[in-house]
Chain A
Amino acid sequence: MGIKDKFKKEVKGLKDYIVLVTVDAKNYQKSNLEILSLLVNEQNTPGVYVTLNKPFDVMERLLKQNKIDSRLVIFIDGITRVSENKKRVKNCLFIGSPEKLSDISVAMDQAVKALPTKEKFIFFDSINTLQVFNKPGTVARFTYFLASKIREWKIKGIIISIENDSDEDLINELTQFCDAKIELRGNGKT
């Protein structure tokens, strides 16, 4: 079963959901792009992509290469270091560091609320980077905040976690808040 089919199967019948997607490093990029393609191209759903792993320009290029309409996505880039006066390009806000969790939270809230459509998504990529830059307690509080916000906003939430690189306790805790946990590994198969 392919990534898209597995994803569709897990969220079937759910209007709003939180899905924790655990991927192996090999499959990581492909999985992200396939899920994005499903949401943006097939379901015509706009959304917010929080990238803590790949800079915005790389993400934009990848989306273009995979024919995913990046115009429907607002990016929040937490990894690219930028100067104070160059924090914003048209559909992307550069936060500057994954440590700035308050700014990421405010940006997510503003971006989600700015989308006037009924259907929308938030794609959080990834929990692992947060763990590198922040204390475990802070990450746990942030993920709890993220899950509760996704419920409050009544949107589709996709949280990416890279396998073998995550704190098991955090993943177990996060799984409790999620409607589904999808494990994607090995050659694009589940």
Chain B
Amino acid sequence: MVSIAAISITTVIFGIGALILASRARKRLSPGSLRKYIDNFSVCLSFIVIFSLWQTVRSITNIEVSLSGFSGYPELIFIVFAYIGFIIASYRASKISEEFGFIEEGKEIQRLVKKGK
């Protein structure tokens, strides 16, 4: 029981640490695609941290919480939200790669340079 609580608390500390790092990274960036991606990532991370925090409190205090008939593990809602957030973040990452990816253009340019020599 004690070891589970210790692991849970450590997990929450790591999660909060990750959120602080992401927030510092965000502050250093000017507005744009990268900052939006960090926003998405932070939202997902927040849901996971809330989930872990909820579980930690529950495992320490043995409190049973029921939310509108969802009596088993209401904290799972946060995991669902986190996954929705991950889908959005992954979509944004794919858009960023479409915008910032120049690999195909690079290959074409290499072909043209070789032709020009």
A: which residues have CB within 8 A of B?
44, 46, 69, 71-72, 74, 87-88, 90-91, 93, 95-96, 99-103, 106-107, 110-111, 114-117, 138
Contacts and interface: CB of A to CB of B under 8 A. Distances in A.
Contact of B102 (A101, A114, A117): A114
21 contacts: A44-B113, A46-B109, A69-B112, A72-B113, A74-B105, A87-B99, A90-B105, A91-B105, A93-B102, A96-B32, A99-B30, A99-B31, A102-B34, A103-B30, A103-B34, A106-B33, A107-B100, A115-B109, A116-B107, A116-B110, A117-B110
Nearest to B109: A46
B98 A88 contact: yes
B25 to A, nearest CB: 10
Interface in B83-117: 98-103, 105-110, 112-113, 116-117
A114 B105 contact: yes
Contact of B99 (A69, A88, A91): A88
B110 A110 contact: no
A113 to B, nearest CB: 8
Given A46-B109, A116-B107, A117-B109, A110 B102 contact: yes
